[in-house]
Amino acid sequence: MAQQPKQQRIDPRARKCPFCLKAVPYIDYKDYPTVKPFIDYFGNIRQRYYTGVCLRHQKMLKTAVERARFMGMLAYRK
Amino acid sequence: MPELQATSEEQHVYELCVLIPYPLSQKEEQEVMKNVESIVEDAGGRQVAKDVWGRRGLAYKIGGATEGNFIVYHYELDPSAINEIDESLRIAKHVLRHLIVKPPKGYQIVAYSKKYEEWLKESEQEEETRKKDKEEDLRKKMIEKQKRQTTKKPAPVKQPKEAEKKPASGEMITEEIDKLIADDELEL
């Protein structure tokens, strides 16, 4: 059997904010492709601990997701 | 894309997003759009940009509709007119949802209708490549399996040969031992 490569787990403390790396000033609720990876299967916002988003951008993300949910672009609950 | 800046200090640029049910006749659709535009323009708004997204699936049912059409406007408005517009949009016919947002400083208008389509194409391509990779992996595994089976087959053929040899050699040994015993020259 070919050995499967072991999955490398990234240390959550070493992970950097994906929005800060691109210096994002504002997260738009209309921008579905960027918001989608921060939502889990049930439609909840992923925790900061797992995604590595900084607090500033997590707050922006929260408002964006809430607006998108209201407009019917994202589900409240799956 | 041009950066947003109001012409005078008293006015601001606002973003207005309207959701319309999708299966509407073209006449009705245009009427709704005209109605919305007239509501804002009556309150003293000046249109900066307009973006029609077209057919989009909704995440949940709104007013019995499962598909909708988003229209994003950018208007230059007086802040005092917002309440009035909000009220009249709530009453307006065929407007499922509306949202008025004040974009932050340095916000650039992006045509999300195009961006979304591009993203859809990209994700489709990614899925196709993933499927191809899976198929290739399967093929490789099958080839390896076949190889292993072909290498295994000769192994059981060899064993009986060795088994045939062993009794023969045993007979030889007994014969030789008999000879040795028969020899009188050897003193043990």
Residue pLDDT, tens place only, B99-132: 999 998 888 888 888 888 888 899 999 999 999 9
Give B118 or B6, the one with higher predicted confidence.
B118
pTM, full prediction? 0.72
pLDDT for residue B1:
47
Alpha carbon of A51: minimum distance to chain B alpha carbons (Å): 21
pLDDT digits (tens, 9 = 90+) for B165-176: 555 677 888 888
* Structural domain ending residue among the three candidates B83, B110, B137: B110
Cβ contact A33–B116 (<8 Å): yes
| One domain, residues B23 and B104 | yes
Chain B residues with beta carbon closer than 8 angstroms to that of A25: 104, 106
Chain A residues with beta carbon closer than 8 angstroms to that of B62: 72
Please give the C-alpha separations between residue B81 and each of B35, B89, B166, in angstroms, as whole numbers.
17, 12, 106
Cβ contact A72–B96 (<8 Å): yes
Judged by a CB distance cut-off of 8 A, whether residue B21 touches chain A is no
**B17 located within any domain:** yes
Number of A/B CB contacts below 8 angstroms equals: 50
**B6 located within any domain:** no
The ipTM, to two decimals, is 0.76
- Nearest CA to B65 out of A43, A66, A72, A31 is that of A72
Distance from first CA to last CA of chain A, Å, rounded? 39
| One domain, residues B65 and B126 | no
Judged by a CB distance cut-off of 8 A, whether residue B22 touches chain A is no
**B23 located within any domain:** yes
Alpha carbon of A70: minimum distance to chain B alpha carbons (Å): 8
Domains of chain A: which residue ranges? Answer: 19-70
**B1 located within any domain:** no
* Structural domain ending residue among the three candidates B110, B141, B167: B110
**B145 located within any domain:** yes
Alpha carbon of A71: minimum distance to chain B alpha carbons (Å): 6
Chain B residues with beta carbon closer than 8 angstroms to that of A33: 115-116, 119
- How far apart are the C-alpha atoms of A75 and A44, rounded to whole Å? 9
* Tokens 């309150």, located at residue: B43
pLDDT digits (tens, 9 = 90+) for B142-164: 999 999 988 877 655 555 555 55
Alpha carbon of B168: minimum distance to chain A alpha carbons (Å): 40
* Structural domain ending residue among the three candidates B59, B76, B110: B110
| One domain, residues B42 and B102 | yes
- How far apart are the C-alpha atoms of B67 and A11, rounded to whole Å? 41
| One domain, residues B163 and B95 | no
Alpha carbon of A18: minimum distance to chain B alpha carbons (Å): 19
How many domains does one find in chain B?
2
**B188 located within any domain:** no
Looking at B78-82, B135-139, B150-154, B161-165, which range is the least confident one?
B161-165
Instruction: Tell me which residue range forms the domain holding B155.
Output: 120-181
Judged by a CB distance cut-off of 8 A, whether residue B115 touches chain A is yes
Q: Each residue of B76-91: b (16+ CB within 10 Å) or e?
A: bbeeebbeebeebbee
Task: Give the architecture-level CATH label for domain A19-70.
Answer: Irregular (4.10)
> Residue B72 is part of a domain; what is its CATH number?
3.30.70.60
| One domain, residues B130 and B100 | no
| One domain, residues B136 and B167 | yes
- How far apart are the C-alpha atoms of A73 and B70, rounded to whole Å? 10
B82 CA to centre of own chain = 37
The C-alpha torsion from B120 through B124 and B126 to B129, rounded to 10°, is -170
- How far apart are the C-alpha atoms of A25 and B4, rounded to whole Å? 15
pLDDT for residue B117:
87
| One domain, residues B93 and B166 | no
B65 CA to centre of own chain = 24
| One domain, residues B22 and B102 | yes
**B149 located within any domain:** yes
Return residues 10-29 of A near B (CB < 8 Å).
25-26, 28-29
Q: Which residues of chain A have pLDDT under 70?
A: 1-7, 10, 12-13
